[in-house]
Amino acid sequence: MTRVVILACLFFALSACATAADTAQTGTRLERIRSKGFLTCGIWPQVAGFALADAKAPGGYSGMDVDACRAVSAAIFGTPDRVKYEIAENVRQLRNTEIDIIARRITWSLTRAATNGLMFGPVTFYDGQGFLVPRDSAITAARQLAGKSVCVASDEAHAATLTSYFHGQGLSVKSVGVDTGMDAERALKAENCVAYSADVSMLGAQRAAMADGYRILPEMISKEPLAPLVHQGDDQFFEIVRWTIFAQIAAEERGLTSENIERVDARGDSETQRFAGLIPGNGAALGLDEKWAVNVIKGVGNYGEMFDRNVGQNSAIKLERGLNRLWTDGGLMYAPRLR
């Protein structure tokens, strides 16, 4: 073979490699995820019940945020365990296009979406700023904190929310800034404050770590809907994330669980058969296998199972469902029809 022929072959080989690389970069998000063989999920493993290092869990992490990513993996790959976790300290890290999805207790807001080129998926947890008090405290309602000292995170917007809430009712409150939940616990024990104010998700995690008895007041003074984020422009992948979460909610509505989902047969109603892939169409619409929803529920569970396991009554956190109840039970969890 002459030198010219060798060089020509080398040129075409390199061109083919470059074309393949360009295709990998320019393919749809779903195509890229399938090509690499796993979903890259950004989490912040600092809050028990939502994301925390767990040597016993698949992938080394457990929590509601982790399960949201595992559910998407199950929808795409048929198994919840094809997830690679990256530490995401804030939403700006989703500008790293190698991260497919971020699930890390981020409140859905206009500026976070519009200024970062992001899209929020469905709400996975309706959170809000609340209050933690000692179990034997006589305080049973937020208004009883008027004129008293309340510990609040010094590096968050919680202090402003606290002041605004009481001022809006013609009342006052004394804010005591604390850096961590442990600082708040020490201040409560020293009676430097009578309550600790933070997001209820944080309060639940903190309460589980406290040695003494504490309770969370029923009121919330802010709206903090937590939802996963994906890149704008990843429309097909966004639909998969959206309908994966909706499938978990719909499964709970229909009484479908990780234990019985594989027993759905042709004797069920048409909606349940469609959910289980016995009536085709949903999978094809999303570019997934027709059993995608079955794989989600089998691998991760319906929304109620996911909630109870991580932050509800079957967990150390033991939060009430509250706004996260199904709409049929007076909550806000509602799924459009999967058809």
| Of the residues 222, 241, 272, the one at which a domain ends | 222
Cα 218 from Cα 206, distance rounded (Å): 16
Q: How confident is the model over 284-329, as pLDDT tens digits?
A: 999 999 999 999 999 999 999 999 999 999 999 999 999 999 999 9
Q: How confident is the model over 105-120, as pLDDT tens digits?
A: 999 999 888 888 899 9
Instruction: Let me know if residue 89 belongs to a domain.
Output: yes
Which pLDDT value is given to residue 266? 66
What's the whole-model pTM score? 0.89
Q: Specify the number of domains making up the chain.
A: 2
Which pLDDT value is given to residue 103? 95
Same domain, 67 and 113: yes
| Of the residues 207, 222, 237, the one at which a domain ends | 222
Cα 242 from Cα 248, distance rounded (Å): 10
Other Cβ atoms within 10 Å of 62 Cβ, number: 24
Same domain, 192 and 144: yes
- For residue 329, what are the β-bridge partners? none
Same domain, 86 and 200: no
Cα 228 from Cα 121, distance rounded (Å): 5
| Minimum mean pLDDT range among 132-136, 156-160, 199-203, 253-257 | 156-160
Distances (CA, A) of 122 to 94, 189, 203, 214, 283: 17, 39, 23, 31, 19
- Residue 189 lies in domain: 129-222
User: Under a CB-based contact definition with an 8 Å cutoff, are residues 239 and 286 in contact?
Assistant: yes
- 268 has a pLDDT exceeding 90: no
